[in-house]
Structure 1
């Protein structure tokens, strides 16, 4: 039987990124959801670093999450779907160590990784250092699709200048990034500007109640990520189900305590935002003080329920 040597999982994943015809990348924090998504025909699944962190009880992006991330990725790679992994900021500032991690993931069959330039406290990584990190990963694992995340519209109270976004996106693409991810983009003109200025395909975050995937495609987007939305939606549904089963809890008006401020009123409430979930985790004193992507989740750029690919 004839085979096409170019038809590899990595190639198929790269080919999903078609400007104007975006695909949706759902994300999972466990095997069961990943298996369901694969069985229902999603061509690729990603992981959510927030979901993984919350399940284990540590702050999103904490280096202790490396092993859990790798183990979930290993199991997901046995499914009939391509697997992309959110590795936050790489869990290290040392390019060689980040390259080691991606090489380890690639050995299991991972075809893509998401690497962000956001840092704790709302800071952004130095452009040169981030380029070195991306370059090290691509040099070690050239077939892995590196989706470089630009957090200029995510971590700050107000989006940074478009020029800064374009500078970072262009530099990352020039260092080997295969795709550019700018969460928090909401203005159609800015989306089109990024698409027009950067050679790599653009990934944006899905915003419930915002533009449809079809409309994003009309703007030139190639990939639409769900970020931590599925996990946060699951938390909402689980809380409502627990309260519905607990009659005494309903009578007591459960849902008003500070511990569940993030989830709010019982039954039909909004999906909690990234910073709401982050505030429930160790090491994050409050939603307003959440570090990393959580800081951006409270901003106007990340409207409502979508706030939060955050760190996927």
Structure 2
């Protein structure tokens, strides 16, 4: 495979954006689901983007978690290409890694041009063993070196285990394995201060329409805020209104 690693300054810039954040000033990363959306966010002046796997799946006509790896990497590559002229780093949600060996996963991510990846710790049968997942993250870190920013998603809340201590335990294992940041997706806002205090890495919070706005999540301790497929669904709401008007 002809691997084209992301330019080193892009990765360094993206990593630096996660640190030294003032309370209430988190790194806000819109989630483009296609190239056109990515350009809109780039033109708005965001310093980086983070693709949502669920949003890309929906845009391609798949259920969340069902996108074939080749189609996901192709979509991510188009998004990276669409914003290349803006010099904006892009991170990609690669779900649980599509069963790819660590070396191949890293090579394909770098070939797509991304500077970061999300990897989640659950699959079709629920939460993965945290030690096994930490081992997987360590393999990815070893294969990537400093060429990728690794955001380790913790799926305790998604999988019906809303246990603060278990979330912290998993997060700390993943940081020890080499994760650059941790993403306890769907963590309740009132858990964020304790999570951010206990996890020795930047914490990614999910913003959604019924929850606190991004800057409030930052005041609760989040260093990074993403949106999952939420932005796409807001756009689809507008499209539905247009469709009703045209019928």
- Cα deviations by residue, 1:256-307 (Å, 9 ceiling, x for unpaired): xxxxxxxxxxxxxxxxxxxxxxxxxxxxxxxxxxxxxxxxxxxxxxxxxxxx
Q: How many residues align?
A: 233
Match of 2:227 in 1: 226
Aligned CA-pair RMSD: 1.9
- What is the Cα deviation at residue 155 of structure 1? 2.2
1:243 is displaced (CA, Å) by 1.5
CA–CA separation in structure 1 for the residues paired with 2:162 and 2:55: 27
Indicate yes or no: 2:192 matched with 1:151. no
Choose which of 61, 79, 97 in structure 2 pairs with 1:90. 97
Asked if 1 retains the 8 angstrom alpha-carbon contact of 2:203 and 2:224, the reply is yes
TM-score by length of 2: 0.87
Inter-CA distance 212–53: structure 2 relative to 1 (3 Å threshold): closer
Shift of 1:102: 2.5
Check whether the contact 1:77–1:110 (CA below 8 A) recurs between aligned residues: yes
Q: Are residues 1:66 and 2:69 paired?
A: yes
Looking at structure 2, the residues matched to 234 and 179 of structure 1 have their Cα atoms a distance apart, in angstroms, of 29
Q: What residue ranges of structure 2 are gaps of 5+ in the alignment?
A: 1-6
**Given that residues 55 and 228 in structure 2 are in contact (C-alpha distance below 8 angstroms), is that contact kept between their aligned partners in structure 1?**
no
Distance 1:99 1:167 in 2: 26
Aligned to 1:136: 139
2:105 counterpart (101, 104, 111) = 101
- Who is 1:215 aligned against? 216
Other-structure match for 1:184: 186
Q: 1:153 to 1:146 in 2, by over 3 A?
A: same
Task: Give TM-score scaled by structure 1 length.
Answer: 0.70
Report the equivalent of 1:22.
26
Cα drift, residue 7 of structure 1: 7.0
